Amino acid sequence: MSLAKALKVALIQFTVTADKTVNLLKVKEKVTEAVSHGAKLVVLPECFNSPYAVSAFPKYAESIPEGETTQFLSKLARDTNIFLIGGSIPESRGGKYYNTNVTFGPTGDVIGKHSKVHLFDIDVPGKIRFVESEILTGGDSGTAVNLPGYGAAGVGICYDIRFPELALAATKSHNAFAMVYPGAFNTTTGPLHWNLLARARAVDNQVYVLLCSPARDVAHPENYQAFGHSLVVDPWGKIIAEAGEGDEIVYADLDPEKINSVRSSIPVLTQRRYDVYPDVSSTAKINE
């Protein structure tokens, strides 16, 4: 059984501003609220302390773990006694910039770190152009974090969800019960692919999938517009909780029996034909 016991999760969807201090205060407020409702695992959105803009990344970038935001999240996890998947922030490391997640245990210790592997370089004519690689460097491995008492969870960031190899590697090599993706899909790709990709990764690997987005910044239409709709998908591919576009906390209970039921009913995990095609998990680089 990949999930040892039931786990209540909360996804914090909020409007990110250009003021880092305001963003961190909002995180503290919303995480405290989620904990008061019984959440044991809390997830933050992609780029929650910074505007999601290539031009903003160098200005807001911090070192990890010494930086202000990492220290803030460490204390918050410790004070609230939760597992905290800290969305992502722009990281400065070795003269380069990364889009990086840090995950914390209830003692405030860093238990996982993931730098976005697949950079968001797209150009949809007449709709949106965004090229992260103009500033950012991609990470060089997937990530699975151990949540003592519950099991392992795979972590990716936004565009990583489009590449099923990371999810397969994390779930097969670490028997993960969930894939967690802080993400900031936009209003062009979000309506078409956000739910679709979440459900696909859930069905592919028979795990829960958690997607946590910033809220849509309707007050500033000139800014990048996140899709919102943070959600939780169960191992059957069913959306069991979903936000709208605005500020909201999404709650869900992850049930280990749901994973067991799906895997015994449709045993794709044991039916894969690695004599026909390669086993990606056997060669993938996965941080622990």
Range of the domain at 279: 7-287
216 token code pair: 């849509």
116 is catalytic: yes
**Which of 20, 116, 172, 258 is labelled catalytic?**
116
- Tell me how many domains the chain contains: 1
46 is catalytic: yes
In a domain? residue 58: yes
Catalytic residue flag (residue 96): no
pLDDT of residue 63: 98
Burial (Cβ within 10 Å: 0-12, 13-18, ≥19) of residue 34: buried
On whether residue 1 sits in a domain, the answer given is no
Of 30, 46, 113, 212, which one is the catalytic site residue? Answer: 46
Burial of 280 (0-12, 13-18, 19+ CB in 10 A): middle
User: Is 2 contained in some domain?
Assistant: no
How far is C-alpha 159 from the geometric centre of its chain's CA atoms? 10
* Identified catalytic residue from 158, 172, 212, 245: 158
3-class state of residue 72 by DSSP: helix
CATH number at residue 109: 3.60.110.10
275 lies in some domain: yes
Rounded CA separation 196/60 (Å): 32
What are the pLDDT digits (tens) for 223-271? 999 999 999 999 999 999 999 999 999 999 999 999 999 999 999 999 9
Three-state DSSP class for residue 50: coil
3-class DSSP state of 251: strand
- HEC sequence for 159-201: HHHHCHHHHHHHHHHHCCCEEEEECCCECCCHHHHHHHHHHHH
Extract the residue ranges of the chain whose pLDDT is less than 70: 1
So what's the pLDDT on residue 1? 52
Which helix (H) or strand (E) segment holds residue 27: the answer is: helix 20-36
